[in-house]
Amino acid sequence: MALRAFKAPKFETYEQIVQEENQNLRYCFENQLLSIDPKQRSEVTKYTKQNKRLRLVRKFMIDWVTYLAKKSNLTLLTIQVSIIYIDKLFSHLPVRHIEQEKYLWGVVAVLLSSKYNEILPNAIKLKHLQKVSKRAAFPSALVKDHEQRLLKYIKWEIWAKPPLFYYETFCNKFHPEIDKAFLENLRIYCDLALRVDELQKCGYFTQFLACAILSCDRNNYKKSNFEMLIDIFQVSINDIEHCVRILTQLDTTEYQKYCPRSKKRASVSQRREQRIYCNDSRSKRTYRQNLKCYLKKKAPSVCSERSLSRENLARERNEKTNKTELNSFAIFYQTEQNESHTSSSALGGERSSTKLSNWKKFKVLKEKSNDGNSQSISQHSW
Amino acid sequence: MEKNNPEEFKVPFSPLLIGRYKMIKKIGKGSYGSVYKVEDIKDRKTATTPDSPKKYFAVKKMKLPANRLKIQGIDFTTLREINILQEIKHENIIPLVDVFHINRSTFMVMELMKSDLSKLMFSRTITLTIPHIKCIMLQIFYGLKELHKNWIIHRDLTPNNLLISEDGVLKFSDFGLSRFFASNNRPMTQNVVTLHYRAPEILFGANYYGPQIDIFSAGCILGGLLLRGTLFCGRNDIDQMSQIFKIMGTPSEETWEGVTNLPHYVEFEETPPQSFRILFPGIDEDLANLLEGLLVLDPNKRLTVEQCINHPFFNKSPDSCDPDELPMDDIS
C-alpha cells in the first residue's frame, strides 16, 4: 500500500503571493516616496524604510490578527491596537525574525491588545486563543514568553491610540455637531489608513492620513468640519498639505493595483489558500478583494467611476426632465445613498428599497420647492 | 535600628536588578505588591565627578496571584498603569522612569517620594493651617485636571495614593484601577475606589459613571484634612451609605434624578442634610460651600475640576502656601 505523502499545512505559504505581487507591481513610486523627508518621523517611517517583504508579512499578519479577533468577538479598536503593536514590533525587530514566528507574534499582539483595550469579562483568554488558532496553536508558556519579549522589544511603550479612538471619543461623543456622513467617512478612512500599508508610505500618523484623504473628498468636504477635525487631531495644515501631495500619487497607484487590467487566474491551491486568509468566510474573498470591494462601496472619492455611471443611468431614464433637476437629483441620490448605506448596514436593511424611497423623497422635496426657489433642493441635499 | 527589622532586608531576588538598580531596602507593601528603595548604579558610573550625589528611586514590584500568572501572563492592571504613566507627564503625577520584567515579576521604577498624604493627614504632631490645606487641595485638583483632560478617571483617589516629595509636591500614584472614560459606552465595574472614599453612585451600583467619582473622593480628602481623620468611615457598603446620608441627607428623586433606577438602590430613613459649618465649627463659608459642592450626592450637580480650581475659597486670603512650605520635616 502506497503511503500518502505528508503535506505541510498550506496556511504558511505566502511565497506564492510574493510572486503574484511582483507580477502585479508594474509601477513603483517607492523611491520617490522614500526620498521625501517628512517633518514628523514616526515609527511608521522606520517601518517604511524596511523592505518590500515586510509589507507582505505585515499584510499577512493583519489578516491573521483580524481572523483571531473576529473569532474571539473582540472590538475593532482592539484589532487596531494589535496592528499598532505589530508595527511597533516591525520597527524594532528585523523582518526575517518576525517572519519565522509570524503566527505567534500575531497571537501575542492580540492577547496584549485585548488586555489593554477590552474590559475584563471580554478580555481574551489564552485557552480560548489556542482553540481559535487551530493549527497554529502554541503552548501557553511560549505565548507568555513571547509576550514578555514583545514588551521588551517595544521598550514597554504600550501606549496605543488608534484613529478609531479619536473618532469614538472626540468626534462621535463630544462633537455631535459634525455631520454623520462625514464622520462615517472619517471612520472608514481611519480604518483604511491603518490597514492599507500603501498609505503608510507617506510616513504620517493615521489621523494625518485620514484628514488628508478627507480634505481630498469632494462629496463630504466642509470647511467647518475640517477645521474642527484639525483641532481635534491637533495636526497642522502644512503637514496635511504635504500628506495630500503624496496621497495624490498614491491614490492613482492604489486604484491601478486593486483594479489591474489583466490578472491571471490563481491556481486551485492558491485559491484554497486565499479562502483561508479571507476574513469574510461566507463570501470567500481574499483580504485584497474585500478591500477592493470596501473601497468601491464605501469611499466615495475612490468610487467616482461607479457613481458617475449611476448618474448617467439616471440621466437616461429621465431624459424629459430638465438639466437642473437632474443635477440636483444626482447630488441628492449620491449623498442620500451614502447616508442610507451607513444606516442600512447598521440595521441590516435592504439597499434596493433605498433607491425608491430616495426618489420619493426627492419628489416630495421637489413639490415643496416649487413654491420657493429651486436651489433649496440642492442645499438641503448637501 | 534597621537590623532589628527583618522585613526591611528581606529581598526576594538578586540585590542588583538588571545590573543597574541596587536594592537598598523595602519601603512599602500593599495589595499591589511591594515597593523597594533602589540606587541607580549606572548613573553613578556615568557621572563625571566622583562626588556626584547618589540617585535613588522607588521600584514597585507588582504582585500577582500565582494562578492568574499561570493562565494569563502579564496582568492587565499592570499594563494599564504603565500605559497611563507613560502617557501623562505632569508635575502632580508620578513619573515612570523605567519598566522591566524579571522572573515573571514586573518592576516599575519611579521617582522616590518622601511620604504620602495619609501620614500628613493623620499625624497628631503636625498642624495643618488653611494655607497648607489650600496648597494640598490645589495640587490635587491640578493633578485631577490633567487626568480628566486626558479622559482618565483615577478610580482610587485616597490619601495613601497621593505621594509627597521632599519639596512638598504632591503626586498621584497607583493607576491600577484607572481607565479611559470616553472610549465607549461600555459598562464600568463597581469594585473601584477604597470604600471610605467611594462615591454614592458606585455604592448604588451604577454601571455608568464619570470623573465625578474622583471629585467625591477629593471631597472626602478635604473633609479628612479638616477633621484629621476619615470623614465617612463605614464598615460596609450599607454602613458607608448611611454615614454619607447622615451628613449629606437622604437622596430622593427631587434631589437626585434617576437615583431610584440605580441597580442597588435601597431606601434609607429620611434625614435632612447638615450644614458643614455646624459639623466643622469655625470654618470659612467658602470652604463649607466647596465641601458641599464636592460631596453633592447627584453626580451631575457635583463641581467639575475647573470649577473647583476657580472656587472663591482659593482666591480669598490667606493665600495658598508654596509646596516647600508644607510641614514635611515633621513627618516621622
Question: Is B60 annotated as contributing to ligand binding?
Answer: yes
Nearest residue of B to residue A111 by CA position? B72
Residues from chain B contacting residue A140 (CB–CB below 8 Å): 71
Residue range(s) occupied by CATH 1.10.510.10 in chain B: 115-330
The ipTM (two decimal places) reads 0.78
More confident position, A264 or B145: B145
Cell numbers that stand for A191 in this block: 480604518
pTM of this structure: 0.65
Residues from chain A contacting residue B183 (CB–CB below 8 Å): 77, 165, 168-169
Question: In terms of residues, how long is chain B?
Answer: 332
Q: Which pLDDT score is estimated for A224? A: 67
Counting as low any pLDDT under 50, the low residues of chain A are: 1-49, 251-264, 273-291, 293-295, 297-310, 319-359, 362, 366, 369-382
> Residue A382: how many CB atoms within 10 A of its CB?
12
pLDDT tens-digit map of B273-320: 988 888 888 888 999 999 999 999 999 999 999 999 999 999 988 889
CB B117 within 8 A of CB B136: yes
Res B169 pLDDT > 90: yes
Query: Which residues of B lie closer than 8 Å to A, measured between beta carbons?
Result: 71-74, 76, 79-80, 82-83, 86-87, 99-101, 151, 180, 182-184, 186-189
What does each C-alpha distance from B242 to A239, B34, B200 come to in angstroms? 57, 34, 10
Q: Which ranges of chain A would DSSP assign to H, the alpha helix? A: 15-24, 30-35, 43-49, 52-71, 76-92, 95-100, 102-117, 126-133, 140-153, 163-166, 180-195, 206-216, 223-233, 237-258, 268-277, 287-298, 304-317, 323-347, 352-371, 375-381
Q: Assign B169 to helix, strand or coil.
A: coil
Residue range(s) occupied by CATH 3.30.200.20 in chain B: 6-111
Residues from chain B contacting residue A169 (CB–CB below 8 Å): 151, 180, 182-183
| Band (B75; pLDDT cuts 50, 70, 90) | confident
Residues from chain B contacting residue A111 (CB–CB below 8 Å): 73
Of A31-45, A260-274, B67-81, B202-216, the poorest mean pLDDT is in: A31-45
Q: Are the beta carbons of A115 and B79 separated by less than 8 Å?
A: yes
CB A382 within 8 A of CB A181: no
Q: Are the beta carbons of A168 and B79 separated by less than 8 Å?
A: no
What DSSP string runs through A53-94? Answer: HHHHHHHHHHHHHHHHHHHTT--HHHHHHHHHHHHHHHHHS-
CB A162 within 8 A of CB A80: yes
What DSSP string runs through B75-130? Answer: -HHHHHHHHHHHH---TTBPPEEEEEEETTEEEEEEE--SEEHHHHHH-SS----H
Q: Are the beta carbons of B76 and A120 separated by less than 8 Å?
A: yes
Nearest residue of B to residue A167 by CA position? B183
Pairing assessment for the beta strands B16-17 and B21-29 based on DSSP bridges: antiparallel
Q: CB-based contacts of B75: which residues, under 8 Å, 6+ apart?
A: B62, B64, B68, B69, B106
Is residue B75 annotated as a catalytic residue, yes or no? no
Multiple choice CATH, B115-330, 3.30.2130.30, 3.40.30.10, 1.10.510.10, 3.40.50.10490: 1.10.510.10
Percentage helix, strand, coil, to 5, in chain B? 40, 15, 45
Of A325-339, A366-380, B52-66, B220-234, the poorest mean pLDDT is in: A325-339
Q: Are the beta carbons of B73 and A174 separated by less than 8 Å?
A: no
More confident position, B48 or A382: B48
CB A53 within 8 A of CB A18: yes
First and final CA of chain B: distance in angstroms?
15
Q: What is the count of residue pairs from A and B with beta carbons less than 8 Å apart?
A: 62
Q: Are the beta carbons of B79 and A158 separated by less than 8 Å?
A: yes
| Band (B226; pLDDT cuts 50, 70, 90) | very high
The domain made up of B6-111 is a member of CATH 1.10.3720.10: no
pLDDT tens-digit map of B266-277: 888 889 998 888
